[in-house]
Structure 1
Amino acid sequence: MTIAIETIKDDFAFLDEWEDRYRYIIELGQGLSPFPEQSRDDAHKVRGCVSQVWLDTARGGGPDPVLTFHGDSDAHIVRGLVAIMIALFSGRRASTILATEAEETMRELGLDEHLTPQRANGLRSMVRRIKREAEAALEPAE
């Protein structure tokens, strides 16, 4: 199940208490598609996260391909954060991914204030990885 980032923003606006928002983040993570066991390897691991996070990228064709992301984590909250980043970036063209400001979305959701520094750094590491994938997708084939 993939949920739209707009739906997540609307749901966050409806939830007043951070306890409820944390529960919602965990629920988002539970909604992620199962991540293949064979992809839980070094090549798919996101560096810079305290928890283990894996990210797989599927690339469409053309000079500005659509990228689809699939991810997972071994920690409940982080798994939910992975779901939020997938909602923000997956299914979009590489150029759109590069133009998307994840920090702005984190501020809108209040994540910048309510995440531990380690989780926030891990989230930034995941965004850097996603943006590197988008940059690589835009490089001309040799």
Structure 2
Amino acid sequence: MQDLTIDELYEEFEDLPDWDERCDYLIDLGFNLPELPAEAKIEENRVHGCQSNVWLVADIKNSTPPTVEFLANSDAVIVNGLIAVIAALYSGKTPQEIIAIDAQDVFKKLGLERHLSPQRRNGLYSMVQRVRELAVQAEAQS
């Protein structure tokens, strides 16, 4: 989804002194997400547990080893920013690497655990769960 790495995201967040600026940065990231094709916005691709509508799909690259790219969109601007975080964390990794990532640790380091509302946090973890499910499916296919 994005060419942003999680390390670059850490650096950006460190340079922003307060949550309001970090939130604005997340919203800006969301505006730069590629658009999910309309035909992908179907119930099968919807992430359940999110306050807003989120659709997420995986594209398994036939590399050696196979890697997974994620494409997702939401109807909420801040959630699109969180999708950019998910992409930085997971896209381009192997299914095994995806499954091994401790997302909660990353979210704590970024301050998302502390600053997101409980509903947004639940939605974020619902996206993580969907990514992990898709990684398990991709691993089973390889």
Shift of 1:10: 0.3
Please state if 1:76 is matched with 2:77: yes
TM-score normalised over the length of structure 2 = 0.94
* 1:140, distance to aligned residue in structure 2 (A): 5.1
The answer for the alignment partner of 2:59 in structure 1 is 58
Aligned pairs, number: 141
Confirm or deny that 1:26 pairs with 2:27: yes
Q: What is the RMSD computed on CA atoms of the aligned residues?
A: 1.5
Which deviations, in whole Å up to 9, do the C-alpha atoms of 1:23-50 show, x marking residues without a partner? 0000010111111111111011101101
Identity %: 37
* Post-superposition offset of 1:61: 3.4
Is structure 2 residue 118 aligned with structure 1 residue 117?
yes
What is the DSSP-based 3-state SS (H/G/I as helix, E as strand, rest coil) of the residue aligned with 2:3?
A: coil
1:59-84 per-residue CA deviation (whole Å, 9 max, x = no partner) reads: 12379520110011100111100110
Matches of 1:8 and 1:28, distance apart in 2: 10
Q: Counterparts of 1:80 and 1:62 in 2: how far apart (Å)?
A: 28
TM-score (norm 1): 0.94
Return structure 1 stretches of 4+ with deviation > 3 angstroms: 61-64
Counterpart of 2:47? 46
In structure 1, the gaps of 5 or more residues are: none
Between the aligned partners of 1:24 and 1:45, the Cα distance in structure 2 is 25
Instruction: Specify the SS of the correspondent of 1:54.
Output: strand
